[in-house]
């Protein structure tokens, strides 16, 4: 993709530029280039079945979370016939869904941001997740699954309240993810400065993109 070429040429320096212009990331290598320290964690693998004439056809659904514990988090879901394939696909899907997570303070603005900036809610299916800012040292007060998600996002202290059918782990994680993803959606007074948009990277580097480009084809290893 054009974005991939600009990243490869080193013309786009950070992921924040991509977010600023709301560019769609379609290649997971872009995320790998910007966030080399991403850690992935398989949240759940569940078998799902489809009834066919010959009986059931079982496939495996994998939920994977990726994060750098520093304000970037992604969640991916993938279904496949084999567990390994599902996990691999889910990791790629999670990398493509990486979103920035805004962090803030509970009281005084001393040190680095450690909790969520405001109260946040997210919903998926019947599960509603509410994140409430907490003072330093409170830790992450949450169930096992969302706790991992919050740690990967780089949040140190937060209170949580959730309701609904939380046994559905997929929806529980998705609700937590959507709550965190909404953190930049709320405009607090310190973000009131007007953002001056320049040209989008595609416009700015038109001459680079106009050149004929031959993608490198990976040669299969000779045995």
Give the tokens for residue 39: 């850690």
Digit-coded pLDDT (tens) for 168-213: 999 999 999 999 988 888 878 887 888 777 788 888 878 787 877 7
Q: Look up residue 182 and give its DSSP letter.
A: G
Looking at residue 221, its pLDDT comes to: 60
What is the average pLDDT across 153-160? 91
Report whether 147 contacts 160 (CB < 8 A). Answer: no
Q: How far is the C-alpha of 194 from the C-alpha of 9, rounded, in Å?
A: 30
Looking at residue 190, its pLDDT comes to: 80
pTM: 0.88
Report whether 131 contacts 115 (CB < 8 A). Answer: no
Sheet holding 120-124, edge to edge: 120-124, 127-133, 158-163, 140-141
Confidence of residue 21 (pLDDT cuts 50, 70, 90): confident
Looking at residue 178, its pLDDT comes to: 92
What is the average pLDDT across 71-89? 91
């Amino acid at each position: 993709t054009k974005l991939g070429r600009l990243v490869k040429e080193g013309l786009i320096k950070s992921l924040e530029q991509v977010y600023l212009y709301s560019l769609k990331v379609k290649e997971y290598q872009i995320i790998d280039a910007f966030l080399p320290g991403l850690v992935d964690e398989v949240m759940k693998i569940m078998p799902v079945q489809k009834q066919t004439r010959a009986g059931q056809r079982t496939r495996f659904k994998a939920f994977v979370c990726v994060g750098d514990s520093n304000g970037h988090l992604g969640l991916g879901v993938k279904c496949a016939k084999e567990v390994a394939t599902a996990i691999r696909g889910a990791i790629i899907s999670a990398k493509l869904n990486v979103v920035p997570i805004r962090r803030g303070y509970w009281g005084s603005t001393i040190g680095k941001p450690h909790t969520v900036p405001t109260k946040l809610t997210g919903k998926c299916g019947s599960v509603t997740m509410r994140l409430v800012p907490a003072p330093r040292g409170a830790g992450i007060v949450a169930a096992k699954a969302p706790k991992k998600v919050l740690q990967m996002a780089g949040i140190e202290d937060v209170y949580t309240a959730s309701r609904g059918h939380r046994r559905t782990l997929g929806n529980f994680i998705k609700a937590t993810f959507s709550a965190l993803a909404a953190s930049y959606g709320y405009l607090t007074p310190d973000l009131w400065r007007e953002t001056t948009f320049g040209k989008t990277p595609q416009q700015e580097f038109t001459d680079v993109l106009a050149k004929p480009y031959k993608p490198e084809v990976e040669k299969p290893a000779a045995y």
